[in-house]
Amino acid sequence: MTSDQIHITGLHVQCIIGINDWEREVKQEVIIDITLHADLSRAGESDDIADTVNYRDVSKAVQEHVEASSYGLIEAMAQSIANICLEPESVIRADVSVQKPGALRGVDSVGVEISRETTPGFSTG
């Protein structure tokens, strides 16, 4: 398994998230961190965007999806983000952290972190 990683850190998105009635009406901020695991050696040699994972495209797809979503649980949101991150063929694993600031009184945030891998012969899309 490759140890090459692309990090997308601190993606702030406003969305409907939560199970309480008021949470279903008011957009809240979530903060998303993503680590994409892929073999980046070819891009390192070629210096060609076509040989790597375009992190701008992944970030934009995640942001658009989350802004339009309405999840009850951050666990479900994290899973859907991981699925998006695994769409590029060269990504073999995605680590996704979703933080919900202010979810509990007296804490900075509450969050989940998940890791998902591609399954040979399985398409996430």
Question: For residue range 8-65, what is the model confidence (pLDDT) as tens digits?
Answer: 999 999 999 999 999 999 999 999 999 999 999 999 999 999 999 999 999 999 999 9
Catalytic center residues: 100
* Among 91, 112, 96, 64, residue whose Cα is nearest residue 1: 91
pLDDT computed for residue 102 by the predictor: 84
Domain definitions of the chain by residue range: 5-117
Q: CA-CA distance, 7 to 95, in Å (whole number)? A: 9
Using pLDDT thresholds of 50, 70 and 90, give the confidence band for residue 121: low
The candidate with the shortest Cα–Cα distance to 74, out of 108, 91, 98, is 98
> Which has more pLDDT, 2 or 47?
47
Q: In CATH terms, is domain 5-117 a member of 3.30.1130.10? A: yes
The model carries a pTM of: 0.90
Cβ-contact 19, 72 below 8 angstroms: yes
